[in-house]
């Protein structure tokens, strides 16, 4: 038994486990109550072969969504634990801005449940934060999730494979061209990590996948460095049209 596990009864006595969404008493520190679990939207099947976007009706195996047919994605798949809704938003905010790092193992387990074939031969890389934002927040939430996923899959973790060379503003509300302009030259592979990436399958980890602009910049940098495949792993995926498919 680990030291941390041996202390868990004492921790639970001093700080009784409560659901981070509603405050209801629960059995363990890293979890949700039954009611809040039921409010999470888990991506289902059938789904797009390329990006795992859920389809509303019955589709043939191997079908692709209209977005992927119109513009083939740069990634090699998306493994999203949840579809972004109000409960998942609250979890992300508590984790990222509320310092609830203890939720990371639970969030990582949900991401891992959507992964296919990620094993010890893979490399896990988090989306980087600029040093000023890292200093303000105190931790990179993507790196914390990446570390937990490395434990679950046995894949090699490289937290500093990518670096954000310039600070960028929040991208919400910007058009695709403006996002691309903001991110131009912002993300690159560290020169001393290029050899590690050559020929590798990479799991790129982030907490939330929104427009994909940041992940696309990361993927471009990783593939320029020689990465073979890059799959995105995230806790919540912004996909409004899928809310009614659960």
Listed in sequence order, the residues at least 6 apart from 27 whose beta carbon sits closer than 8 Å to its beta carbon are 17
Q: Is the pLDDT of residue 17 over 80?
A: no
**In the prediction, which pLDDT does 20 show?**
79
Listed in sequence order, the residues at least 6 apart from 12 whose beta carbon sits closer than 8 Å to its beta carbon are 28, 29
Q: Give the β-pairing of 229-237 and 162-164.
A: unpaired
Structural domains in the chain, CATH included, are 13-42+74-245 (3.40.50.2020)
- With b for 16 or more beta-carbon neighbours within 10 A and e for fewer, the 186-195 pattern comes to bbbbbeebee
Residue 212 half-sphere exposure toward CB, CA atoms < 13 A: 17
102 vs 31: CA distance, rounded Å: 9
The token pair that represents 203 in the structure block: 């799991």
**In the prediction, which pLDDT does 174 show?**
55
pLDDT tens for 233-242 read 999 999 865 4
Q: Which residue has the tokens 């990582």?
A: 108
In degrees and rounded to multiples of 5, residue 67 shows phi and psi of -65, -40
pTM of the model: 0.86
157 vs 147: CA distance, rounded Å: 7
Kindly state the average pLDDT of the residues 93-108: 88
Taking each helix axis from N to C terminus, what angle separates 104-112 and 141-153, rounded to the nearest 10 degrees? 60
Kindly state the average pLDDT of the residues 199-209: 96
Ranges of beta strands (E only) in 84-209 are 123-126, 156-157, 162-164, 187-189, 201-209
Q: 3 vs 83, which has greater pLDDT?
A: 83
Q: Which residue has the tokens 């059938």?
A: 46
Q: 102 vs 177, which has greater pLDDT?
A: 102
**In the prediction, which pLDDT does 10 show?**
37
Would you list the DSSP string of 3-28? HHHHHHHHHHHHS--B-TTT--B-SS
pLDDT tens for 142-199 read 999 999 999 999 999 999 999 988 777 665 555 566 776 777 778 899 999 999 999 9
The token pair that represents 21 in the structure block: 């969404």
**In the prediction, which pLDDT does 12 show?**
44
58 vs 50: CA distance, rounded Å: 17
Q: What is the mean pLDDT of the chain?
A: 84
């Amino acid at each position: 038994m680990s030291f941390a596990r041996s202390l868990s009864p004492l921790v639970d006595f001093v700080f009784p486990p409560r659901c981070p969404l509603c405050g209801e008493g629960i059995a363990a520190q890293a979890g949700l109550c039954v009611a809040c679990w039921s409010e999470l939207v888990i991506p289902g099947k059938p789904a797009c072969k390329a990006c795992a976007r859920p389809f509303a009706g019955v589709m043939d195996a191997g079908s692709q969504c209209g977005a992927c047919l119109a513009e083939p994605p740069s990634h090699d798949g998306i493994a999203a634990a949840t579809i972004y809704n109000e409960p998942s938003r609250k979890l992300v905010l508590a984790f990222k801005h509320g310092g609830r790092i203890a939720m990371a193992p639970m969030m990582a387990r949900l991401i891992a449940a959507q992964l296919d074939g990620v094993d010890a031969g893979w490399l896990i890389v988090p989306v980087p934060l600029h040093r000023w934002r890292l200093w303000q927040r105190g931790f990179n939430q993507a790196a914390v999730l990446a570390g937990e996923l490395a434990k679950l899959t046995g894949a090699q973790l490289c937290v500093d494979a990518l670096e954000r060379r310039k600070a960028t503003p929040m991208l919400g509300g910007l058009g695709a061209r403006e996002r691309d302009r903001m991110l131009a030259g912002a993300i690159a592979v560290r020169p001393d990590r290029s050899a590690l990436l050559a020929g590798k399958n990479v799991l790129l980890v982030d907490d939330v996948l929104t427009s994909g602009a940041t992940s696309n910049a990361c993927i471009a940098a990783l593939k320029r460095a020689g990465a073979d495949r890059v799959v995105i792993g995230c806790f919540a995926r912004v996909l409004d049209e899928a809310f009614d498919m659960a």
